[in-house]
Chains A and B, each alone.
Chain A
């Protein structure tokens, strides 16, 4: 590749899509920002570990789910090893929601959306809601009494607003497919977006200290911006 081709923007020649994507990615998230080895001094509270704890729980959920999937949805009813991994999967889900809620409470009380970080909150909140859907389809996939009952109750809420006609909680094949691939992909994609946004804007700084001049009234912030 010639020197002239390396920076399409500066030479004015016809831009390649690859170059455009790479330059945008690298400029918004250079390596030191993507994987920083330092954080602002105010990041010194145990509340900050609950984001990564949520991610860790999600990893355990996905890996245990993949192991369960290796032998199919009925394995855990007849195998002690399968029952063990079903337990890991269930408790990792409880830990996932536990950590996510504590993380959410912390971020709310810190008003972590300030300074143009509105999209970070939005992506996190949507992840929470989609995760609830993923858990719902998981409970439906158990193939036991609990899943029967949840299906027979859940159908009423979904039917009442017309969704049940397309998303049939009694259709095991459909619910299982949503649970093992469609919703996990959605959750993981949202989490990746969420983390990249955090890396881009940095961890939200504290509110102004007492005695400091009142924070200047913010100008209209770009998409995702929201102030206190």
Chain B
């Protein structure tokens, strides 16, 4: 039997918003995931890594 939707804090079950550019279209959620991937990648190579003790 249908079960009430779990009380997620944010309900994402409504239709998505889409970004359009020429023939290209992508949901806002997917665009955010891709941008986040690029941001995290850049952060990973730019943020200094803690210096480690040298061991023999």
Contact = CB atoms under 8 A, between A and B. Distances in A.
Given A79-B3, A83-B6, A84-B6, A45 B33 contact: no
A209 to B, nearest CB: 18
Nearest to A50: B44
Nearest to A38: B55
B45 interface: yes
B44 A45 contact: yes
B41 A80 contact: no
Interface in A9-38: 37-38
Interface string A31-54: 000000110010011110110000
Nearest to B34: A101
B45 A83 contact: no
Interface residues of A, number: 22
Interface residues of B, number: 17
Q: Specify which of B43, B45, B47, B55 lies most central, judged by the most chain A CB atoms within 10 Å of its CB.
A: B45
A210 B3 CA distance: 64
Contacts of B47: 46
Contacts of A98: 33, 36-37, 40
A132 B1 CA distance: 32
B22 to A, nearest CB: 23
A77 B3 contact: yes
A160 interface: no
Given A38-B55, A44-B52, A94-B33, A106 B44 contact: yes
Given A94-B33, A102-B44, A78 B3 contact: yes
Contacts of A102: 37, 40-41, 44
A105 interface: yes
B51 interface: yes
Interface string B26-56: 0000000100110011011101010110110
Interface of A: 37-38, 41, 44-47, 49-50, 77-80, 83-84, 87, 94, 98, 101-102, 105-106
Interface of B: 1, 3, 6, 33, 36-37, 40-41, 43-45, 47, 49, 51-52, 54-55
6 contacts: A47-B41, A79-B3, A83-B3, A83-B6, A87-B6, A102-B41
Given A46-B44, A46-B45, A105-B41, 9 more contacts: A41-B54, A44-B51, A46-B43, A78-B1, A83-B3, A87-B6, A98-B40, A102-B37, A102-B40
